[in-house]
Amino acid sequence: MTALNSRFEYVKGFERDDRCLPNSWIIVRVDGKSFSKFAEQHGFEKPNDKLGLELMTRAAVSVMEELRDICLAYGHSDEFSFVFRKDTSSYNRRSAKIMSNVNSLFAAAYVFYWEDIFGPTKLKYPPGFESVIVVYPSETNLKDYLSWRQAELQTKNLYNTLLWTLIKKGNKTETEAHEILRNSTQKSEILFREFGVNYYNEPDMFRKGTTLIRKLIPSKKDNKLRQYIIPLHCDLMGEEFWKENPEIVG
Ligand code: ATP
Ligand code: ATP
Ligand code: MG
Ligand code: MG
Ligand code: MG
């Protein structure tokens, strides 16, 4: 442009090339900042607040509606992972651009849809979210990543379900409940024996998290195939999910 502009332009050279490895899945994982406190302050039900999870999913759907190269998203608690198709050319695969775009869209949507989901319960302050971006070159890596997130949910959710049952139904203090849990390996047995709770009857959304995928479905209006974002509460470990939805990695 102008001479003045070119005099200062050298500063652009300080920017680093942060393009993601080609031909690899790019994953952005968003996680709520200090959501233990956020959940407390907004009266979230423990261990699983249904509306809280619904809002996370609404925000994730909103991100997928905007960014068409996301082929799958998986979330639970205060986190959501977004998987970009391995051949995406979004932002020239520049990682800071991709990550900050996903993160800001997610945060904005979380606030935007708060009232739709929580109604009269007011948002007390603007929540923050943090993200990481990771690139996985093989299909096995991608599947193992999702299995890892779901395995973490399973361990934590079983723990928290027993913890809050001990507190709510067993009249234990939080400290006592943690102590009991520290020495117990058979958490689902305790739940069943002492409280008549069959862990496997707990809602799938709590036990398995929420997976969002795109599916072509005939529209009710004109029967033409249209793409919809579908929420599932399914197992990601093992091969079944991938056999049923081969187009995700294809
Ligand atoms: P950090 O900033 O390091 O992520 P954090 O407080 O957000 O800290 P996490 O490990 O991300 O810690 O855990 C999120 C916490 O938020 C959960 O442990 C739980 O207390 C709370 N939480 C998030 N979503 C829900 C929900 N739907 N129902 C109940 N509690 C929730
Ligand atoms: P990108 O996503 O690539 O950043 P963009 O549309 O945001 O695309 P920018 O180069 O960032 O393009 O320019 C921002 C544009 O937003 C401006 O060109 C202008 O049209 C509009 N804009 C932003 N702030 C204002 C404002 N306060 N008043 C009027 N127009 C504005
Ligand atoms: Mg968090
Ligand atoms: Mg978390
Ligand atoms: Mg702009």
| Whole-number pLDDT of residue 66 | 98
Pocket test for ligand 1, best of 34, 50, 78 (most atoms within 8 A of CB): 78
CB within 8 Å of 31: residues ≥ 6 apart: 78, 79, 129, 130, 131
| Whole-number pLDDT of residue 1 | 59
Query: Cβ(72)–Cβ(25) under 8 Å?
Result: no
Q: Which ligand approaches the C-alpha of residue 79 most closely? A: 4
Q: What is the pTM of this model?
A: 0.96
Residue list, ligand 1 pocket, CB within 6 Å: 31-36, 39, 44, 46, 48-49, 52-53, 77-78
| Whole-number pLDDT of residue 250 | 81
| Whole-number pLDDT of residue 183 | 85
ipTM of this predicted structure: 0.97
94: DSSP letter: B
What spacing in Å lies between the alpha carbon of 32 and ligand 4's midpoint?
6
User: Hey, what are 5's tokens?
Assistant: 């502009």
What spacing in Å lies between the alpha carbon of 102 and ligand 2's midpoint?
19
Q: Please, how many CA atoms are within 13 Å of residue 143, restricted to the half-sphere of its CB?
A: 16
| Whole-number pLDDT of residue 4 | 84
Task: Point out the ligand 1 atom lying closest to the alpha carbon of residue 35.
Answer: 7
Query: What pLDDT tens digit does each residue of the chain (250 aa) get?
Result: 568 889 999 999 999 999 999 999 999 999 999 999 999 999 999 999 999 999 999 999 999 999 999 999 999 999 999 999 999 999 999 999 999 999 999 999 999 999 999 999 999 999 999 999 999 999 999 999 999 999 999 999 999 999 999 999 999 999 999 999 998 889 999 999 999 999 999 999 999 999 999 999 999 999 999 999 999 999 999 999 999 999 999 8
For the four alpha carbons of 219, 224, 227 and 231, in that order, the dihedral sign comes to positive
CA geometry: angle at 236 spanning 53 and 62, to 5°?
A: 40
| Whole-number pLDDT of residue 205 | 98
| Whole-number pLDDT of residue 153 | 98
| Whole-number pLDDT of residue 3 | 80
